[in-house]
Every structure is written in C-alpha cells, then in structure tokens.
Amino acid sequence: MAASVPAAEPAILVATGDVTPTGAVVWARGRHAGTLEVLYGVVGGAAPMARRALSVTAGGDFTGKLALTGLTPATRYAVRVSQGETRAEAEFVTAPPPDAPARVTFLWSGDLGGGGYCRPLDGGYRIFAPMLDRRADFFLFVGDTIYADVPCDRPGVVAGAEFRARTLAQYRARHRYNREDAALSALLRGTSVYAIWDDHEVRNDFSGPHDWLMPVGRQALLDYWPIAPPAEEPTRLYRRFRWGRLLEVFILDTRQYRSPNTDTDGPGKTMLGAEQKRWLVDGVTSSTATWKVVVTSVSLSIPTGKPNARDSWTGVSAFGLPVDGAGFVTERDAILDRFRKHGVKNLVFVAADVHHAEL
C-alpha cells in the first residue's frame, strides 16, 4: 500500500513567541524576497487590525521577525501574514500582569526527529495535533528542535533532509524541513513558543565556545525561531518571563558557554558560564512568583553522553553509580545549594534530551 503524503502547507510559515504582557515576536518565512504584510489585532475586537511591513531577503532565507509592542495583557490576538495572494494566520495570548492571579496552562517538549526517522510520510509529527487541542497559553520547546547532524534517511520519511548540516544554508534547510511539517506548523500558529537549543542544532554534545560550527548553528536558530535577544547582546539565548502571580520561567542556555565535556569536574568546570549562573541564582531566589520553572535542555540526573564526558548535569554511570570527574555536578550542586539556603519553594525543572517523557 502506498504511503500518503501530508497535504502541502501554505507557502508562508508563521509563528509567534517570547510573549510578554505587552509584547510578542512575530516570525514569518515568505515565499520569496519582498515585503510581507503583517496584520494583528484583538480576536473579536471592534478596532481595525494594525498593519506592519516585514521585509525578507534571500540572504536571510526569506525569514524575518517583527517585535509587537503596546499590546493589552491577558488578551488573545490574531495575526495575518500575506505576500501577494498567499496568506497564513496565527493566534497567541499575551501574558497577564505580574500581579494577576491568573491560571496558566503550558506545553513542553524537545528532541524532534532524532535517529534518522524525522517526518513520517504517514501523517507527519502526529504528537503536535493533540498538543494543539489543549489550547495551552504557550509552548516551551526545550532543545533539539532539529537533528542537524543526523541524516533523515530512514524508510518512510519525508525527503529533503538526507544530509548532515555544515553550512548556514544546510542548517537553515534542516530547520525548514521540520517547520514545514503540517502538525508542528499548526501548533506554532495556534499558540506562542519559547524556544531554546540543545546540541543537535549544531552537532552531538558540542561545547559552545570550543566548536567552530556553533556560530553557524546559532545563526540558523535565530533565523528560524521567534526569539528576541536583547539589543546589546544579539546572540544571548537565556531569558526569563513572568506569567501573572503564579509563574516565572527561566530558560537556560546550556550550550553556548559550557566547558568541554571531557574536562574533569570541579569548581572551574561550567555549563552556564559565570554570568548566566549568577543571573539564574539571583533571579530564582528573588522571584515572587508562586512557581518557579527552570528550563534546562539537558537532564539534572539522567546520564547522557560518554561515561567520562557526560553531556548532562549528572556524573553517574548508566547504573546510577558516581563516575569521578564526569558531568557538571559541582556547578549543579552549588546552584541547588544556593536555592536551598534561600528557602526557595515550588521550584520545578523542565528538561529534555533523553527521548522519553516522565514526571
């Protein structure tokens, strides 16, 4: 029996992300170089939609981002992006004010399309359809949004990613391959996303400043996700956001500043770098939110990588036994100790990288 091919997605791709009470980022990829018309407004509102122009070029792989400001907190917005006769639509909800006692529902996931299996011909990435049905306030995409270093060459997958990325064009192509999946595209049009990378946006178990491919993979990530780094730090990926009185989320960058995995664990070995570590500790210990969620793309306690070069925080063997000098245990334990000493309560870590889900 012949496999069915997913229906073609609209030629324009749209996503929203890095939402705040009064702002959001709109990301889009056009059909070709030119100007995209971006309309946005309150869903069901009486006022006409605001209009913005977004220029895209071949040099940016026809992608671009707009920062929307002056939005109303806790409000659902519609976005319409068009180029010529082609149009795509999205929705997102702005965060409530920091002192609002608002409920929140969010999704999280990671590790999309590993092992060479990628987008199935029969239905694509089906998991995203029930995720969309949850009508969540936002989606945390916790790294390995692509597997740029693993060819998608297994039987029964959509063609177009049968290579290991090494150039900017190839990294962009691997992002585009996943983003053209119908179910993922629908989810990203239906709710906002806060995305972060792990290793496979570059290559397996890489350590940022020590890998020449890191800036290339990072550029493709920034090209393809609605991430809004501060103007003074255009490559910074770690960030935080508040969702009413109930929740504050701290998104870690576990790749860009890390020591080589092969270094012996100790006070000088770091996954976060001194500045990000200080930002995390100060932010969590001073947060007034009821719940604090820390997003880490690698596990605190499940070993990944080689025994003498663990890629996750832990330094244990596959049997749970300590391995001398492995992992990033010293830094992890120092951070947790600071949280304990400050009496931090209701702290949750959200992680990915282990290719299964559990609570």
pLDDT tens digits along 172-205: 999 999 999 999 999 999 999 999 999 999 999 9
Give the mean pLDDT of the chain.
95
Residue 88 pLDDT > 70, yes or no? yes
Instruction: Please state, in angstroms and rounded to a whole number, the distance separating the CA atoms of residues 166 and 150.
Output: 11
In sequence order, what are the residues at sequence separation of 6 or more whose Cβ sits closer than 8 angstroms to the Cβ of residue 191?
91, 92, 93, 107, 132, 135, 136, 137, 138, 139
Torsion of CA 13, 19, 21, 24, to 10 degrees: -40
Indicate whether 266 pLDDT > 70: yes
Average pLDDT over residues 329-349: 98
- What tens digit of pLDDT does each residue of 45-68 get? 999 999 999 999 999 999 999 999
| Banded model confidence at residue 7, pLDDT cuts 50, 70, 90 | very low
Q: Residue 6: what pLDDT?
A: 47
Enter the pTM of the model.
0.95
- The predicted pLDDT at position 4 comes to 45
The pLDDT confidence band at residue 3, using thresholds 50, 70 and 90, is: very low
Q: What average pLDDT score do residues 277-282 get? A: 99
Record the tokens describing residue 267, joined without a space: 């006070």
Here the tokens at position 281 are 């500790």
Tell me the two tokens of residue 20: 């705040």
Separation of alpha carbons 254 and 197, rounded Å = 8
pLDDT at position 57? 98
* Confidence (pLDDT) at 2: 40
What structural domains does the chain harbor? 99-351 (3.60.21.70)
pLDDT at residue number 249? 99
Closest alpha carbon to 54 in 12, 18, 95: 12
| pLDDT confidence of residue 243 | 99
Instruction: Kindly state the tokens that stand for 351.
Output: 């992680």
Task: Over range 201-230, report the average pLDDT.
Answer: 97
C-alpha distances (whole Å) from 39 to each of 61, 68, 81, 197, 305 are: 22, 11, 6, 29, 46
| HEC letters along 165-218 | CCCHHHHHHHHHHHHCCHHHHHHHHHCEEEEECCCCCCCCCCCHHHCCCHHHHH
pLDDT of res. 1: 36
